[in-house]
Amino acid sequence: MNDSCTPRPTAASGWRRRDVLLSTLAGLAAGSAHAVSAPAATAYPQRLISIVVPTAAGGGNDAIASEYVARAKPDGYTVLFGYIGTHGMNPALQRLRYDPIKSFEPIGMVCTSPTLMVAAPQVKARTVAELVQQSKASPQSFNYASAGNGTAPHFAAEMFKLASGAQLTHVPYKGSAPAMTDTMAGQTQIMFPSLFSAYPYVHAGKLRALAVAGPQRSRQMPDVPTLGELGYQNVDVTQWYAMFAPAGTPADVVARLNQALNQALADPAVAKRIETHGADVVTGTPDQLRTLVSSELDKWRRVVAQAGLSAD
């Protein structure tokens, strides 16, 4: 297998995302080889399988890459490493040239990662309550960074604004790396990155973790409370990653890919590398992933309507 459509990383957060992906790819490749070694197996696969990653390193959504896979030949040799942005948030925000449900055959989940609410070191507020109070008193002083419209940091911040009444101005960037860089420098004050993007910067004191935007505390940061614990309900942005094939891919091919993927994720070495970066391995069936995508679309469409969001 290869990830030939993946741009070369240019930032630390991109390297971490790529590292998680390559851990999975290595195991998936081995799993596929094992899956076809049985005497009853058919000839699939006979060549490398391309896994398309729809983001540049540290970048935001790339709808073109997702569209490319949606239009690829449904033979099992081109699959997508999709995530909450490609199959939930971005399609809920704007019309795309692919349908997150009709254009793909779900293969299986890979992992999830909680979203952190982080502040620049220069921010005087030490708690979420203090930040909300200060933002209301001085709205022009608080901006939040995102990796672009339709990304998880964008939606998480808007959900937080709805729950708290905080006065925060959106500053979209072309990817998570520049957004995080400017937040660390104090050019923007708040961001909602994934844990495995933010963890090393929090650990180094370059960002301050205020809360987890999810249903439970992180094992890596057990002292950081959830927003729900602090009284801000329904701010749950658990970021997820999964594999998809083009619609029309034969069911037996999808089943083989799912088997190989789950075998890879069951490898302790693969799981350890993923979990080291703040993500949790999740396995499952194609039907379970299809149900997740459907429920996520409904959820983010409601958020778009409630917050009055647009892609502009």
Domain boundaries, the chain: 48-112+239-307, 114-230
Q: What CA–CA distance (Å, rounded) separates 17 from 179?
A: 16
Higher pLDDT, 26 or 265: 265
What is the arithmetic mean of pLDDT over 86-108? 95
Q: How confident is the model at residue 188 (pLDDT cuts 50, 70, 90)?
A: very high
Q: How confident is the model at residue 41 (pLDDT cuts 50, 70, 90)?
A: very low
* Residue 279 clears pLDDT 90, i.e. is over it: no
- List, in sequence order, every residue forming a beta bridge with 104; answer none if it has no partner: 246
Cα dihedral 5, 91, 235, 115 in deg (nearest 10): 0
Q: What is the mean pLDDT of the chain?
A: 86
pTM here is: 0.85
Percent of the chain with pLDDT over 90: 66
Can you give the length of the chain in residues?
Answer: 312
What are 278's two structure tokens?
């703040």
Instruction: Quickly name the fold that domain 114-230 has.
Output: D-Maltodextrin-Binding Protein; domain 2 (3.40.190)
| Residue 146 neighbours by CB under 8 Å, 6+ apart | 153, 154, 157, 170, 171, 172, 173, 179, 191, 192
Q: What DSSP string runs through the chain?
A: -B-TTPPPP-SHHHHHHHHHHHHHHHHHHHHHHHHT-STT--S---SPPEEE--S-TT----HHHHHHHHTS-SSSSEEEEEEHIIIIIHHHHS--SS-TTTTEEEEEEEEEEPBEEEE-TT----SHHHHHHHHHH-GGG-EEEESSTTSHHHHHHHHHHHHH----EEEE-SSHHHHHHHHHTTSS-EE--BHHHHHHHHHTTSSEEEEESSSS--SS-TTSPBTTTTT-TT----EEEEEEEETT--HHHHHHHHHHHHHHHTSHHHHHHHHHTT-EE----HHHHHHHHHHHHHHHHHHHHHHT----
| pLDDT tens track for 210-245 | 999 999 999 889 999 999 999 999 999 999 999 999
Q: How confident is the model at residue 43 (pLDDT cuts 50, 70, 90)?
A: confident
Domains 48-112+239-307 and 114-230 share a fold: yes
Instruction: Quickly name the fold that domain 48-112+239-307 has.
Output: D-Maltodextrin-Binding Protein; domain 2 (3.40.190)
* Residue 69 clears pLDDT 90, i.e. is over it: yes
| pLDDT tens track for 242-252 | 999 999 999 99
